[in-house]
Amino acid sequence: MGQLLDGKKLANFRADLLQKQVLNLKKLKIQPLFCVINIGQDPSSLIYLKTKKRRADQTGIEQKLFQLPVTVSQKELLELIDKLNHDKNVNGIMIQLPVPKQIILNEALAAIAPEKDVDCLTPANIGRLWQGDHFVEPATAHGILALLDHYHISLRGKNAVIIGRSSIVGKPLAALMLERDATVSILHLKTKNLAEYTKRADILVSATGHPKLVKANMIKKNAVIVDVGISRVNGNIVGDVDFDHVAPIASFITPVPGGIGPLTVESLMEQVVQLTRRNNGKQ
């Protein structure tokens, strides 16, 4: 049985450390503040917002929610982003996904000031990420690396395979893994013969949202398995990995839930504090 990579435990540990950083900032009269723009009433988004608010409160970070109607126009959204960009008290801005179809997401993301881009989704910050000159990292990718570091799992010289090419997980994680001297392959659901690639992986990350996509016959013995996917099947929460059959073969494996999810929220708070420090000359 592979050793569990306990993301929940690590998230709580890192939250305690972050709380001390926030207290030190408050002693200097600096209050970390980030603003979340949510459009409409997507049920998953509402749950995620509550989770983020709870973690922010625990850490001492102020989170301000701007709840917009599902009918909001692109112009109104851009005006709000511009207002927040110019508010010196705001250290971070993020748009909760998904957004309704009338919103041109890439244009809205590009309007966020790079120095307040908590999600690392502005074109400027994506470019910095691939150049290796970044000051903010996407939360999920940041959390994955934090978890690997905590368990002393090195990426140097390893074959790292990522299933999923999203701008939130797959692509930025590939950039950060390359920084760590891993040899990285990015796969996706249209890749032919997934197992041909996954069987060579020393470290396999799956982020597709397709339940039990990764089977035991798709991995090599003692591989490290990081499951970012989350789905609800027959009332149960499951990941991309067929956990019961893969765990006995892996050396390390994340559970779902309790693996990457808690670290994503914690990492978001860490990025808020990082931006707050940077914007106040406290790097």
Residues forming the active site? 52, 96, 119
Contact status, residue 230 vs residue 257, Cβ threshold 8 Å: yes
Please give the Cα distance from 223 to 247 (Å, whole number): 10
Please give the Cα distance from 119 to 106 (Å, whole number): 13
Please give the Cα distance from 168 to 203 (Å, whole number): 19
Residue 191: in which H helix or E strand, if any?
Answer: none
Please give the Cα distance from 232 to 207 (Å, whole number): 15
Number of H helices, E strands in the chain: 10, 11
Using CA atoms, how far residue 151 sits from 7, 37, 144, 147, 187, in Å, is: 11, 35, 11, 7, 25
Q: How is residue 102 written in tokens?
A: 């009338």
CA torsion through residues 53, 54, 55, 59, sign: positive
Q: Is 151 helix (H, G, I), strand (E, B) or coil?
A: coil
Please give the Cα distance from 198 to 174 (Å, whole number): 15
Cite the DSSP H helix spans in 3-87.
7-27, 43-59, 74-85
Contacts of residue 85, Cβ cutoff 8 Å, sequence gap at least 6:
93, 111, 112, 113, 116
